[in-house]
Amino acid sequence: MAMSFQKRKNTIFLGENTAGYVTSVGGFKVNDPVYLYLSTGYGQDKAGQTYERSLVPEIRIIEPDSFNDIPHDKKVLAAMRWINRNN
């Protein structure tokens, strides 16, 4: 999903590198209950750039996520600061 926002006007990526799962997946039926899913290609952004590895954010923040304490999550706080400075 992050690739779809690459090169979009007024968009930045903030946080850590993505997990690196940038392939497209194709499903193939083997027999009735069995399917085989294989990576069949790489993803591209709307400008046509192909991504074979992780997406790297413009603003890197290497901090643990605080999903159970969002008001204190370092990435959320950094994003809020960025929005406030750039509006």
Q: pLDDT digits over 13-28, tens only?
A: 999 998 888 778 899 9
Q: What pTM did the predictor assign?
A: 0.68
Nearest residue to 14 via CA among 84, 81, 87 = 81
Q: Residue 19's pLDDT is what?
A: 87
Range of the domain at 36: 2-85
